[in-house]
Amino acid sequence: PDALQQTAKAAYIDAAKMIQEAGFKCSAPNNIAIKKDIAQFLDIPESTLDSFLRKHKTDIKPIKLDRATIRSIGFKASTMNGYSLDDVTKVALGMDSIMGMNLKKQLFGQVGPFIKLQTPVQTQWHESFKKIFADLGLNNNYKLGPYQVDFFVAKLLLVLECNGYCHRHYDVAQEKKREAFITKKYGLVRFHHTIDLETLFNGILQAQPGKVVQLYDLQNLSQEMPLGLNISAH
């Protein structure tokens, strides 16, 4: 429905604007940030940021600053990289930091009215995600290395997979190998198509590299297990 789309769109109109409102400032002109800006904003060591940027060099593209720009912001180095606000957003939402978690909570907290308004969409996840993640770089049937994933949300550095119950039809050993590859760099959330959006968003808040968040309605299985988060680490 149009009202539904407008509500979702309003919540996610500009993730970059959200981090600016949280106090982020760029040192270089034209909304270009440097590492120091990002590290100070997230309250992390630059060495931690460097590790994250190396791991995500295919997702985050640095901008080479010219000498005049470097001098204008008070540095004497001959070379320096800058980062667009879009890429700063990826770092802020993708890193496991207190600020990153608060930003994600703010992002998904804004969608509260959308959750309450939404009509049943169990079999329409792609259409729902296109509305919800419109400005966060949603890709469907996306290729990550040798593997194809259902959904990749670029600015969240997040993989979402809509599965049947517990992947019972998959080769377990191959699936573990696949999960290990994906979670080296990205958060991975696996969900059954019958869950609600609120449960999915709670799962996304738990997502981070090295972990698989599994969201299944286990009451339909033969074993007695509660509905909720099943987080496994690699």
Domain count, the chain: 2
Q: Assess whether 132 and 167 both reside in one domain.
A: yes
38 is a domain residue: yes
Residues 153 and 138: beta-carbon distance below 8 Å: yes
1 part of a folded domain? no
pLDDT at 40 over 50: yes
> CA 66, CA 29: separation in Å to the nearest integer?
12
N residues, the chain: 234
**Pair (190, 131) in one structural domain:** yes
What range does the domain containing 135 cover?
120-233
Do 47 and 75 sit in the same domain of this protein? Answer: yes
Would 82 be classed as within a structural domain?
yes
pLDDT of residue 170 exceeding 70: no
The three-state secondary structure class of 186 is coil
The CATH code of the domain that includes 194 is 3.40.960.10
Residue 73 pLDDT greater than 90, yes or no: yes
Q: What is the overall mean pLDDT for the chain?
A: 78
**pLDDT tens digits, 93-132:** 888 788 888 887 777 765 544 444 444 443 477 777 887 7
Q: Check residue 183 and give its pLDDT.
A: 94
Residue 11 has pLDDT above 80, yes or no: no
**Residue 179 falls inside a structural domain:** yes
Label the pairing between strands 32-33 and 187-192. unpaired
- pLDDT digit string (tens) for 184-207? 999 999 988 777 777 787 788 788
219: pLDDT confidence band, cut at 50, 70 and 90?
A: very low
Percent of the chain with pLDDT over 70: 76
* 84 and 143 inside one domain: no
pTM greater than 0.75 (yes/no): no
Write down which residue in 75, 105, 135 finishes a domain. 105
Q: How confident is the model at residue 64 (pLDDT cuts 50, 70, 90)?
A: very high
Give a yes or no: residue 91 inside a domain.
yes
Q: At what angle do helices 98-109 and 85-94 cross, to 10 degrees?
A: 100
Looking at residue 28, the DSSP 8-state letter turns out to be: B
Element containing residue 61 per DSSP (H, E): none
